[in-house]
Amino acid sequence: MSQRRSNEPIERVYAIGDVHGRFDLFQQLIAIVEQDHARRPPASTQIILLGDIVDRGPDSAHMVRGCMKLAALSNRFMVLKGNHEEMMVEALTGNMEAFAAWLRFGGTQTLLSWGMSEAELDGPLSMETLHRAAEAVGSEAITWLSKLPLHHQHGDYLFVHAGIRPGVPLRRQKASDLLWIKDDFLDSDASHGLTVVHGHSIAEGGPVVRANRIGIDTGAYRSERLTALGIEGSSHWILSTGADAQGSSEDAERYPLQTGLGGTSAGQDGI
C-alpha cells in the first residue's frame, strides 16, 4: 500500500470524539464527514481522533487495526492518545495491577474483540493471562498505541484528549492532565490562549461549546451518538450520528478527502 504524504497547509479539520470500540458508529460518522466535505469548497483537510478509540464497545480490534492502516497511509489522519490507550499499554506491558484495573474499565470487551474468550478473562487473573492478552493484541499494535501523540495544535485550536491544566503553559503540561483532567479544566472560565477541543468528559445531551473549550465526547458507546467538530478558519460546526446526522451521499465523490479516506474508501479499506 502506497503512502500519501502532503506538505500542503491544512485548511479544514474534522475532530472526532471518543469512539470506544464502536466501529459501526465510526464508519457512519466518516461517511457523514465525507458528505459534509463534499458540499464545501475543496480544501486540504485533516481528520483527528481525540483518543479513547478502544474499550467498552465491541470492536476495538477493528478500530485499532484500521486506524493503524489509515495513519500509515496518510499524514492527514491522526489519532491522539486517550487515557484508555494509556491504560491498555500499561496493562499489556506487564503491570498486573494495571491489567486488572483496565479489564474493569472496558479492557475485557477489547480483548474479546481480539479473540480471547470470556472464560479466559472471567477466572482468576495471572501473569499467564496477561501474557496471552498481550500476544492476542500483538506487539505492533501495543507499540503503535504507546507512541500516539498527546496533543496537536491547528491555528487557534488545541486538540487533546481530556483537557489542560489552566494557567500552565503547554510545554509544561503533565501527561496525566492531558489524559485524565476533569473538573479543574471543565469548570474553568480562564482563557487558555487557544480553544481546547477535547473528549473524555461525556455530555450525552450534545457537545459543550464554551468560550475556552469545545467538548465532543457524547458517550457514543452507550448513547449511539458519535460526534465530530468541523473547523475551517474562524468557523466551526457539528456533525454526528443519529437523528441529526447531516449530509447527502450523492455528493460524496466531488471533493474526496485528502486523507486516504476519500469517497467510500473508508468503508472498503479496513475501517
- Amino acid 84: pLDDT: 98
Residues 72 and 179 in one domain: yes
Residues 229 and 156 in one domain: yes
Report if residue 67 sits inside a domain. yes
Q: Is the distance from CB of 7 to CB of 77 less than 8 angstroms?
A: no
- Amino acid 1: pLDDT: 30
Residues 143 and 259 in one domain: no
Report the C-alpha gap between 218 and 199 in whole angstroms: 8
Q: DSSP string covering 92-134, please? A: HTT-HHHHHHHIIIIIHHHHHHTT--HHHHHS---HHHHHHHH
Residue 71: partners with Cβ closer than 8 Å, 6 or more residues away: 77, 78, 79, 144
Report if residue 1 sits inside a domain. no
Residues 141 and 223 in one domain: no
Domain limit, last residue, from 147, 164, 189: 147
Report the predicted TM-score, pTM, of the whole model to 2 decimal places.
0.90
- Amino acid 262: pLDDT: 41
- Amino acid 252: pLDDT: 31
Report the C-alpha gap between 150 and 167 in whole angstroms: 18
Report if residue 251 sits inside a domain. yes
Domain housing 114: 84-147
Beta strand ranges found along 115-249 (DSSP E): 151-154, 157-160, 195-198, 208-209, 213-215, 227-232, 235-240
Q: Which CATH number fits the domain that encloses residue 19?
A: 3.60.21.10
β-sheet with 77-79: strand ranges across: 77-79, 45-49, 12-16, 227-232, 235-240
- Amino acid 4: pLDDT: 64
Residue 54: partners with Cβ closer than 8 Å, 6 or more residues away: 20, 21, 60, 63, 64, 84, 85, 88, 106, 110, 145
Q: Is the distance from CB of 83 to CB of 52 less than 8 angstroms?
A: yes
- Amino acid 258: pLDDT: 45
Report the C-alpha gap between 55 and 164 in whole angstroms: 23
Residue 183: partners with Cβ closer than 8 Å, 6 or more residues away: none
The parts of the chain modelled with pLDDT lower than 50 are 1-2, 246-271
Number of domains in the chain: 2
Residues 77 and 204 in one domain: yes
